């Protein structure tokens, strides 16, 4: 494939945009080479500026459950645009999508819209601190909740130590209130809570991790975490920016039958437009301004374009009761096809999948957390990524990102992907 125009565009972008990109993973630093510039997308396919076509397994990092340029979503945005793009005032459509979201997701009664998943998680933690009167939070190594200061924390030297900032600009004062736990290790969480008795406001977690590859909760981990939080009067926050409305209508709460205290949502609730939301019961949400003392605001929060797109998307998901079975079946088909292709070529690997999320790890070990995910052979992944790209299959340009399956994918697309894996595996 030729990437001449993408290369030229990247060179231009580097002159005026830091690193040539507006989000670091897009720069291909983890895989090498020059990023691909996309000019349009439809259904399961992307087309780049050199007119190369790709089967897309990024899907805008999750929200395109129904495929790119899904017509009801496009129509809703176009019609709403004709009436104005933003007012900074209440609109009826905000209430409509709020009511629909509350009806679809278990255990929530009120929802507040924001502009991104980062805002949603940041606001949820602030709300948890305001509600409980406690300062410390627990997050899990490898889980990503946006780039708010509290979340950019790396491991300390031991199981119960404070984290340390892993980005300049994050203060030691912020870091001391963030405690880092090991995903899928309930004993580790118990140690941290015991060492910080009565000081922890909340635990925030991706119920299915998607930012160290796809890693599902194992051995009743979420159930035990829920019990631990209840027993210690700690709020449990599910970051469902990836899993919300994707793994089930009610997200991971529905799939695993776990009740979180606060739930965060991202792009899917805006049909792929910039949007986020956080939700809880009335008692907790009533602590938010203007009802309560916890301040949160945003000029573009609930803007009519994102609300129109999100309402159209959620309406489709709400009425199509078979979609989640279809997505799971396609993911399982792909899982087995990739495994067969890699096994036939004696490529060491582990594949994790849940619902419509899947990832390939080039390690023989079971991948349970960030430490085991990091054991994957990154050189093999780099070759795999570029090989798949040259075969017309676009996966995330990082070994630490999940793939997302869309309903627009046909079985012919899945077979083409599996054939591509066969071809690439011979070169690894």
Catalytic machinery residues? 144, 239, 267
Determine the distance from the C-alpha atom of residue 387 to the mean position of all C-alpha atoms in its chain, rounded to a whole number: 25
Evaluate whether 56 touches 44 at the Cβ level (below 8 Å).
Answer: yes
In 304-355, DSSP assigns E strands to: 350-354
Q: Which of 332, 392, 420, 353 is nearest to 213 (CA)?
A: 353
For the record, the structure tokens of 170 come out as 């994050």
Max CA distance (Å), the chain: 61
Task: Give the single-character DSSP code of 2.
Answer: -
Contact residues for 58 (Cβ-Cβ < 8 A; gap 6+): 394, 395, 396, 403, 404
3-class DSSP state of 113: strand
Q: How far is CA 37 from CA 48, 212, 235, 277, in A?
A: 6, 25, 41, 29
203 φ/ψ angles, rounded to the nearest 5 degrees: -115, 125
Residue with tokens 């040539």: 20
For the record, the structure tokens of 423 come out as 């071809």
Task: Give the single-character DSSP code of 35.
Answer: P
Evaluate whether 286 touches 111 at the Cβ level (below 8 Å).
Answer: no
In 119-190, DSSP assigns E strands to: 136-140, 153-154, 164-165, 178-181
Residue with tokens 């999948």: 353
For the record, the structure tokens of 94 come out as 């905000």
Cα–Cα distance, 354 to 170 (Å, whole number): 34
Cα–Cα distance, 364 to 240 (Å, whole number): 29
3-class DSSP state of 89: coil
Evaluate whether 176 touches 150 at the Cβ level (below 8 Å).
Answer: no
Evaluate whether 298 touches 119 at the Cβ level (below 8 Å).
Answer: yes
């Amino acid at each position: 494939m030729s990437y001449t125009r993408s290369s030229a565009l990247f060179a231009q972008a580097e002159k005026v945009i830091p690193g040539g990109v507006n989000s670091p993973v897009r720069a291909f630093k983890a895989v090498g080479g020059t990023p691909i510039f996309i000019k349009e997308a439809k259904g399961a396919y992307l087309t780049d500026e050199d007119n190369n076509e790709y089967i897309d397994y990024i899907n805008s990092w999750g929200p395109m459950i129904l495929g790119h340029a899904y017509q009801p979503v496009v129509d809703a945005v176009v019609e709403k645009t004709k009436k104005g793009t933003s007012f900074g005032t209440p609109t009826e459509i905000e209430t409509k999508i709020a009511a629909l979201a509350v009806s679809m997701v278990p255990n929530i009664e009120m929802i507040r819209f924001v502009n991104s998943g980062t805002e949603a998680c940041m606001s949820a933690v602030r709300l948890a601190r305001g509600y409980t009167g406690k300062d410390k939070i627990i997050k899990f190594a490898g889980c990503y909740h946006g780039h708010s200061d509290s979340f950019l924390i790396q491991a300390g030297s031991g199981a119960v130590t404070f984290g340390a900032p892993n980005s300049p600009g994050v203060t030691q004062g912020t870091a001391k209130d963030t405690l880092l736990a090991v995903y899928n290790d309930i004993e580790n969480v118990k140690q941290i809570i015991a060492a910080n008795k009565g000081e922890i406001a909340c635990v925030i977690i991706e119920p299915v991790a998607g930012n160290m590859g796809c890693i599902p909760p194992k051995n009743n981990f979420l159930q035990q975490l829920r019990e631990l939080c209840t027993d210690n009067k700690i709020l449990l926050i599910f970051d469902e920016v990836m899993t919300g409305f994707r793994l089930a209508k009610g997200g991971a709460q529905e799939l695993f039958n776990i009740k979180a205290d606060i739930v965060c949502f991202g792009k899917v609730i805006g049909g792929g437009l910039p949007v986020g939301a956080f939700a809880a019961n009335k008692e907790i949400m009533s602590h938010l301004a203007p009802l309560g003392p916890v301040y949160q605001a945003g000029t573009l929060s609930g803007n009519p374009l994102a609300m129109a797109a999100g309402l159209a998307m959620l309406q489709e998901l709400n009425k199509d009761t078979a979609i989640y079975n279809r997505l799971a079946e396609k993911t399982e088909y792909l899982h087995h096809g990739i495994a067969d292709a890699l096994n036939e070529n004696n490529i060491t690997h582990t594949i994790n999948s849940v619902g419509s999320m899947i990832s390939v790890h080039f390690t023989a070990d079971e991948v349970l957390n960030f430490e085991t995910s990091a054991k994957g052979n990154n050189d093999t992944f780099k070759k795999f990524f570029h090989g798949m790209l040259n075969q017309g299959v676009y996966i995330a340009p990082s070994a630490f990102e999940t793939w997302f399956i869309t309903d627009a994918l046909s079985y012919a697309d899945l077979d083409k992907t599996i054939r591509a894996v066969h071809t690439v595996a011979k070169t690894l």
